[in-house]
Amino acid sequence: MEGALRSAARFLLRSPDGRRGECVAMNPRLTFHRLNWKWSLPGLVLIALLATFFNPPDPDVTSGEFEYVQRVVDGDTLVLGTGERVRLIGVNTPETKHSQKPVEAFGKEASAFTKRMVEGKLVRLEFDELSSRRSDGKDKYSRTLAYVFLQDGTHLNAEIIRQGYGFAVSSSPPLKYQNEFRRLEGEAREQRRGLWANAVKGE
């Protein structure tokens, strides 16, 4: 890092008389009294960019409106870099981590799919007004209920259902994306995707 900044500064510092095109090499023996450097605006910008490149942001910290996914617990539960546990709303996947239930069919595949989609990546959370009114936006395990979107706009909750790794959960009154989720589940059933591959037609 220090070498990169020193090289950049070598070509971005100007002499006191402000002559353009004349570059002055850094000399650690020169004191402030002998030479008063003047930084150019492009030089400051480049130095800042170099500092950002060599010192990437901590993934455990929120980046703007996006959150870093530290790990995936199972097909419908995530843990953010902040330690917050998030339960995908409007979708259920087969159990793999329930203390009172065995691993369900296609549960491991669903967990692996969600892991491929979001673990180690940035996501945006969207909350449902209905669940927020009912339970302060959390389930009985104190997990935050949310829709999860990837940086490219992919809706994780919907994609899990569309690919056949989970099924839609109905609520009355309906959740925001409930109709869309039910439509996607119908398509997955019809196409025999994922956990619907061995389902009897008409189930």
One-letter amino acid for residue 46 of the chain: L
User: How confident is residue 14, by pLDDT bands cut at 50, 70 and 90?
Assistant: very low
One-letter amino acid for residue 56 of the chain: P
Mean residue pLDDT across the chain:
78
Answer with the residue of higher pLDDT: 70 or 104: 70
The active-site residue, picked from 6, 19, 85, 95, is 95
The pLDDT of residue 134 is 72
The pLDDT of residue 67 is 97
pLDDT above 70 covers a percentage of the chain that reads 64
Cα separation of 153 and 80, whole Å? Answer: 18
Answer with the residue of higher pLDDT: 127 or 133: 127
Q: Residue 64: what are its φ and ψ, rounded to 5°?
A: 65, -130
Q: Tell the burial category of 157 from Cβ atoms under 10 Å away from its Cβ (0-12, 13-18, 19+).
A: buried
The pLDDT of residue 167 is 95
DSSP β-bridge partners for residue 39: 13
User: How confident is residue 64, by pLDDT bands cut at 50, 70 and 90?
Assistant: low
- Residue with tokens 């995707």, as numbered in its chain: 193
Lowest mean pLDDT among 53-57, 133-137, 149-153, 166-170: 53-57
The active-site residue, picked from 67, 109, 143, 159, is 143
Domains delineated in the chain: 2-54 (no CATH), 66-196 (2.40.50.90)
The active-site residue, picked from 67, 87, 109, 162, is 87
Cα separation of 19 and 23, whole Å? Answer: 9
One-letter amino acid for residue 2 of the chain: E
**Token couple for 160:** 């899990």
The pLDDT of residue 62 is 41
DSSP state of 155: B
For residue range 66-89, list pLDDT tens digits in order. 999 999 999 999 999 999 999 999
Is residue 71 annotated as part of the catalytic site, yes or no?
no
Q: Residue 47: what are its φ and ψ, rounded to 5°?
A: -60, -40
pTM of the full structure: 0.67
What is the dihedral angle through the alpha carbons of 93, 97, 103, 105, rounded to the nearest 10 degrees? 10
Is residue 10 annotated as part of the catalytic site, yes or no?
no
The pLDDT of residue 132 is 76
Is residue 87 annotated as part of the catalytic site, yes or no?
yes
Q: Which of 167, 71, 91 is nearest to 131 (CA)?
A: 91
For residue range 146-202, list pLDDT tens digits in order. 999 999 999 999 999 999 999 999 988 899 999 999 999 999 999 999 999 987 665
DSSP state letters, 26-87: --TT--TTT---EE-HHHHHHHHHHHHHHSPPPTTS-BTTEEEEEEEEETTEEEETTS-EEE
State mean pLDDT over 100-127: 91
